[in-house]
C-alpha cells in the first residue's frame, strides 16, 4: 500500500530592493500513487530600502531670462528701495517701502532695473511688482561675493507643513539662540539650521512657554 507523505518546505527569506509587502508562492506537490494533492505555502518576505529624507535648498529666482516675472503678480505699486536687504544676503535683494510698510526682500534683475518683485508672505505665493520712483541706491560692493546660501535663510518650511519667514531687526534671545523665524502655526524658530546631517533641523517651540525641541526642515529659501 502506497503511503502519501507531504512535501516539507523550509520558509525562505529573500531580500528585494524597493518593494513593499509579502509575496506568497503556492507550490502544488503530488505524491506518487496518491489520489490527493497537498498544497504548501511558502512566504517570501520583502524588505524595503528607503533613502533618508533630505532638506531641499532653493535659491529664489522670480525672473525669467527675458527679465519677466515667472511668479504670479498680485498687484502693482509705485515706490522705492533705500538700502540692501536685511533678510536675504544677496546683491540683487533690496529693502523697500510703500506707505508705512516695508517689504524685504525685494528682488531686481540688475542695478539699473526699473522695478523690483517683492514676495508677499514668503516664497510660496504671489509677488508685488514695485515700479521704482527712484533709482536703486549705490552701495559699496562687498570685498568678496557672498554665497547665496549664506545663513540665515529668509524662509523655511518644516516637514509638518509650517511656513516660516525671517524676523528682522532686534529679536528675543533664548538659551543664547536668537528668535529668528515666525511660523504659520504658532511655532517660533531659534538660531540657524543644523546642517550636520540630513534632514536639517532647527530649534523651535510652540507658543511662548514650550521647551526648545529640534524641528525637521523640509525646505529653505535663500
- Evaluate the omega torsion of the peptide bond into residue 194 and state whether it is cis, within 30 degrees of 0: no
Interatomic CA distance for residues 92 and 106, integer angstroms: 8
CB-hemisphere CA count at 13 Å for 156? 32
With beta carbons less than 8 A apart as the criterion, state whether 193 and 207 touch. Answer: no
List the single range of 79-83, 141-145, 180-184, 211-215 with lowest mean pLDDT: 141-145
Q: How many other β-carbons are positioned within 10 Å of the β-carbon of residue 221? A: 22
**Residue 9: is its pLDDT beyond 90?**
no
pTM for the complete prediction?
0.73
Query: Cell numbers 557672498 label which residue?
Result: 146
Query: Cell numbers 525671517 label which residue?
Result: 166
List the single range of 51-55, 191-195, 197-201 with lowest mean pLDDT: 51-55
Which tens digits make up the pLDDT trace of 36-51?
Answer: 445 555 544 444 455 5
Query: Cell numbers 530592493 label which residue?
Result: 17
Interatomic CA distance for residues 28 and 85, integer angstroms: 74
Amino acid at each position: 500500500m502506497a503511503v502519501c507523505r507531504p512535501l516539507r518546505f523550509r520558509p525562505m527569506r529573500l531580500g528585494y530592493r524597493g518593494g513593499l509587502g509579502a509575496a506568497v508562492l503556492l507550490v502544488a506537490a503530488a505524491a506518487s500513487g496518491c489520489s490527493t494533492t497537498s498544497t504548501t505555502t511558502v512566504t517570501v518576505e520583502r524588505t524595503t530600502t528607503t533613502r533618508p529624507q533630505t532638506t531641499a535648498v532653493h535659491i529664489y529666482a522670480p525672473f525669467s531670462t527675458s527679465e519677466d516675472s515667472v511668479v504670479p503678480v498680485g498687484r502693482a505699486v509705485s515706490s522705492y528701495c533705500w538700502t540692501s536687504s536685511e533678510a536675504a544676503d544677496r546683491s540683487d535683494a533690496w529693502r523697500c517701502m510703500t506707505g508705512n510698510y516695508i517689504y524685504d526682500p525685494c528682488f531686481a534683475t540688475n542695478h539699473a532695473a526699473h522695478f523690483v518683485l517683492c514676495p508677499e508672505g514668503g516664497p510660496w505665493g504671489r509677488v508685488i511688482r514695485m515700479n521704482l520712483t527712484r533709482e536703486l541706491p549705490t552701495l559699496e560692493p562687498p570685498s568678496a561675493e557672498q554665497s547665496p546660501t549664506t545663513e540665515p535663510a529668509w524662509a523655511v518650511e518644516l516637514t509638518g507643513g509650517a511656513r516660516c519667514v525671517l524676523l528682522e531687526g532686534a529679536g528675543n534671545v533664548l538659551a543664547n539662540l536668537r528668535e529668528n523665524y515666525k511660523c504659520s502655526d504658532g511655532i517660533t524658530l531659534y538660531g540657524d539650521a543644523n546642517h550636520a546631517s540630513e534632514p536639517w533641523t532647527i530649534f523651535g517651540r510652540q507658543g511662548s512657554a514650550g521647551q526648545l525641541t529640534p524641528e525637521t526642515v523640509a525646505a529653505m529659501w535663500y
